[in-house]
Amino acid sequence: LLAQGNPPTFVFWEDGIMSGYRRPTSSALDCVLSSFQMTNETVNIWTHFLPTWYFVWRLLALAGGPGFRAEPYHWPLLVFLLPACLYPFASCCAHTFSSMSPRARHICYFLDYGALSLYSLGCAFPYAAYSMPASWLHSPLHRLFVPTAVLNSFLCTGLSCYSRFPELENPGFSKALRTAAFAYPFLFDNLPLFYRLWLCWGRAGCGPEALSSSHSHHLLCALLAGLLFTARLPERLAPGCFDYIGHSHQLFHICAILGTHFQLEAVLVDMRSRRAWLATQEPPLGLEGMVTMLGLVVAGNLLIIITFTASLLRAPGTCPLLQGGQPEGGPQAKQQ
């Protein structure tokens, strides 16, 4: 199942990863079997496949609690957990089946990006329900927080999918565009936390505005994930030494999953500790509104993905995006 002889084409090549590539024309069965072999994707696959079931377990455990689902106050948390289960599973599938062909690789990651953008919307529901600063409640920002997150989700999917097209001709621009596509929704979603952090900076007691340690751990993991995604460390410093274990994308996966875990714990802390205070406030969005928003984003993101996929399918086989060819001067050329 591993590529033999020639190095992978440019489309499949990753900076600093010198070996462990699968054949770029693998069948679906080959791709599944490769997850049980040691390739440079194996750890990527399992670091998101196993956490998928952890979050499914957390969702079922919370939803199955006495009276939990019947309480409207808990619905934003349950809606958040749906994309929290979906995005690692979509990522696992993308890494598993991305070696079937150049077209399949791009389409797999289109779907991966769509799931991540859906997760960015999922984060907005509990933040709007449980984490808003007191001075923001029922303000225009509070009322527009989730609708803006819907637009951010569309923007995230569109930019990240588009970023794959200039990847060969202008990899720096492609990377910057993809990073911005995911960084912007994250920064927007966490505005309530940043403001609460600013309010409580250097103060002994902040009442309901205080952030828990889980909030801090979540933000730290997100920062580490972003740095790993952009810096491509450690394989950038020692090409070939971290091909199978320890390269940046594997560490990025681990930080992302830990960040989601701490985010869930932080949301639970806010939901429980601020309940008496929030009970006096009108909820920002009911179940019908949340389901409508989520359905709108699923449909919109699928339309965006279908549009990019159609463009990809219409491209001739000689298109550099699909052929790539070898990096000039061999695999080491792309390192420079």
Residue ranges of the annotated binding site for Zn(2+) are 95, 249, 253
Q: In sequence order, which residues have a C-beta less than 8 Å from that of residue 57 and are 6 or more positions away?
A: none
Distance CA 26, CA 88 (A): 22
Rounded-to-10 torsion of CA 201, 205, 207, 209: 10
- Amino acid (1-letter code) at residue 301: N
- Residue 206 phi/psi, 5-degree rounding, is -120, 5
Distance CA 41, CA 63 (A): 33
Residues annotated in a binding site: 95, 249, 253
**DSSP 3-state of 317:** coil
Distance CA 157, CA 124 (A): 16
Query: Which of these, 197, 56, 74, lies nearest to 130 by C-alpha position?
Result: 74
